[in-house]
Amino acid sequence: MAQVLCQLPQNDDPNLLSRDIPCADAGIYQITPELVLLQSIDFFTPVVDDPYLFGAIAASNALSDVYAMGGKPITAMNMVGFPNCLDIDILTQILCGSTNKVHEAGATVVGGHSIEDEEPKFGLAITGTAHPDRMITTLGCQPGDLLVLTKPLGTGLLTTSLKAKVLNEQQIDVALKGMERLNRYASEAMLKVGVSACTDITGFGLIGHALEMADASQVRLTIHGDSLPDYPHAIDMAENGLVPEGRFRNHRHYIPRVSGEEGQQQHVIDLLCDPQTSGGLLISVPAQRLDQLLNALQEAGDQAFIIGEVDHGPAGTMQLI
């Protein structure tokens, strides 16, 4: 995608703030000195069989970029691809799941667009707002910061196993609840405490999104292989070779900027590279605010895993220990 984007005509609109923020989670467009719009879009084919749950997960996933930036989602637009041979009740269920999640976010569905498609696809375009001085971006990780992840890893492994019918939805219930959970509460917790930087973990996996933050902040991230949290059954699936294609793409693309791979167990590398659907926030927090953040996340009902720290090593790289 980067190869395509760099060939497009450049936009010199001074209100497009995201142009100066490498790997920003959302487009950032300044409206007034006190207000920026945050815009983000995502859609995909079903990750679960239950259409209501698929809609809820798709909405949580699409809303996540605005939350990673400490923004407040205000509107959502549906994007639907749907085969005319399928029962229209399935689409109703997808949209119900999604709309309830958008309402939980305090946002409003303002419309959408649908096309006929061979395979169902669903996602949303989200618009949020933030104060330009209070938004959180991929810039700002400081050496000495701790790295906190708010959801376990392994959704790519588990949804691949679900498609292969090796696991059923009951067996991956914990991961489904995790994917469905809004990053809203974790985002409000980090805003209250004040953190250095944040991004959310989605398709590029922990490896890709962490490296983007390292690159934007011009720091190295040290990740402790044995502290990566995993959803139940994810490691079993990795060990049985039920690994999604995206894991290999992420590995190929990002591993040149990672040192210490050889000292890690295979399942750590699988978790690190596993593409996530509606993953957690990766928060860089100053050491003196770590306890405050952990308390705030716990009060919010979220998990918090300390997976590493920020250091002075080569900018834009990751060290595994």
Residues that bind Co ion (CB under 5 A): 25, 65, 200
List for the chain the helix, strand, coil content (%; round to 5): 40, 25, 35
How crowded is residue 197: how many other Cβ atoms within 10 Å of its Cβ?
24
**How would you classify the pairing of strands 258-259 and 121-130?**
unpaired
Residue 42 or 237: the one with the smaller Cβ distance to Co ion is 42
* Comparison of 56 and 68: residue with beta carbon closer to Co ion: 68
Q: Which of 321, 302, 300, 318 is CA-nearest to residue 310?
A: 318
Smaller CB distance to Co ion: residue 51 or 70?
70
Both structure tokens of 105: 């976010």
Pick between residue 25 and residue 309 the one whose CB is nearest to Co ion: 25
User: Would you state the structure tokens that stand for residue 89, as one six-digit string?
Assistant: 């009740």
The nearest distance, CB 155 to Co ion, in angstroms, is 15
Output 120 or 208, the one with its CB closest to Co ion.
208
> Which of 67, 17, 61 has its CA nearest to residue 42?
61
Compute the least distance from the CB of residue 27 to Co ion, in Å. Answer: 11
Taking the complex as a whole, how short is the minimal distance between the CB of residue 204 and Co ion, in angstroms? Answer: 9
Angle at the Cα of 66 from the Cα atoms of 65 and 67, rounded to 5 degrees: 90
Nearest distance from residue 82's CB to Co ion, in Å?
A: 26
Question: Quick one: CA torsion of 205, 211, 212, 214, rounded to 10 degrees?
Answer: 140
Residue ranges of the alpha helices (H) in 138-264? 155-163, 173-180, 184-193, 205-217, 234-239, 245-254
Nearest distance in Å: CB 12, Co ion: 25
Q: Report residue 53: phi and psi, to 5°.
A: -65, -40
Q: Based on CB atoms, which residue is closest to Co ion, 48 or 281? A: 281
The residue number with the shortest CB distance to Co ion is 25
- Cβ 23 to Co ion shortest distance, Å: 9
